[in-house]
Amino acid sequence: MIALARRLGRRRAADATKEAYFTASQGQLIWQRFRANRTARAAFYVLFFFIFCGVFAPFLSPYNPTSAGRNADYTNGAPQIPQFCDDSGCSWRPFVHGTERYRGADTNFRWVTRQTEERSYLTFLPRGSEYRLLGVIPMDRHLFGVEEGFIHVFGTDAQGKDIFSRTLHAIGVSLAVGSAGVLISFVLALIIGGVAGYFGGWVDTVLQALMDTVKTVPTIPLFMAVAAFIPDTWSAEQRFFFISLVLGLLGWGTLARRIRTHVLAERSADYVLAARMSGASAGHVIRRHLLPSFTSYIIVDLVISFPYMVLAETALSFIGLGLNDPVNSLGVMLQNVTRVEVMLNYHWYFIPVPIFVAIVLAFVLVGDGLRDAADPYSEKR
| DSSP state letter for 56 | T
pLDDT exceeds cutoff 60 at 379: no
Q: What is the mean pLDDT of residues 10-20?
A: 57
How much is the pLDDT for 299?
75
pLDDT at 381: 44
Contact between residue 296 and residue 27 where contact means Cβ atoms under 8 Å apart: yes
Q: Is beta strand 127-133 parallel, antiparallel or unpaired with respect to 137-141?
A: antiparallel
Stretch 54-82: mean pLDDT: 84
Question: Mean pLDDT of all residues in the chain?
Answer: 79
Number of separate helices (H) and strands (E) present in the chain: 16, 6
Residue 51 pLDDT > 60? yes
pTM of the model: 0.79
Asked if residue 77 lies in contact with residue 154, where contact means CB atoms within 8 angstroms, the answer is: no
The DSSP H or E segment spanning 61 is none
Determine the CATH number of domain 166-373: 1.10.3720.10
Residue 43 confidence (pLDDT): 92
Q: Among 109-113, 212-216, 264-268, name the one with the lowest average pLDDT.
A: 109-113
- The pLDDT tens digits for 236-259 are 667 777 777 887 888 788 888 888
* Higher local confidence (pLDDT), 320 or 288: 288
Beta strand 144-146 with 112-124: parallel, antiparallel or unpaired?
antiparallel
pLDDT at 56: 92
- List the beta strands (DSSP E) in the chain: 83-86, 89-102, 112-124, 127-133, 137-141, 144-146
Check residue 202 and report its DSSP letter: H
> What is the mean pLDDT of the segment spanning 15-43?
72
- Stretch 278-283: mean pLDDT: 81
Of 174, 219, 166, nearest to 363 (Cα)? Answer: 174
Of 259, 243, 244, 247, residue with least CA distance to 189: 259
DSSP lists the bridge partners of residue 145 as 123
pLDDT at residue 64 is higher than 60? yes
Cross-strand pairs, 50: none
pLDDT at 18: 55
pLDDT over 90, % of the chain: 5
Whether residue 316 contacts residue 331, with contact meaning beta carbons closer than 8 Å, is answered with yes
Residue extents of the structural domains in the chain: 67-158, 166-373
Q: Is residue 174 a contact partner of residue 146, using CB atoms and an 8 Å limit? A: no
Write out pLDDT tens, residues 125-169.
888 888 888 878 888 889 888 888 888 889 888 888 889 999 998
The 8-class DSSP code of residue 79 comes to P
Reported for 204-210, long-range contacts at CB under 8 A and 24+ positions apart, including other chains, are: 204/260, 204/264, 207/256, 207/260, 208/257, 208/260
Q: How far is CA 109 from the centre of its chain?
A: 46
Residues 6+ apart with CB under 8 A from 84: 90, 91, 92, 93, 94, 95
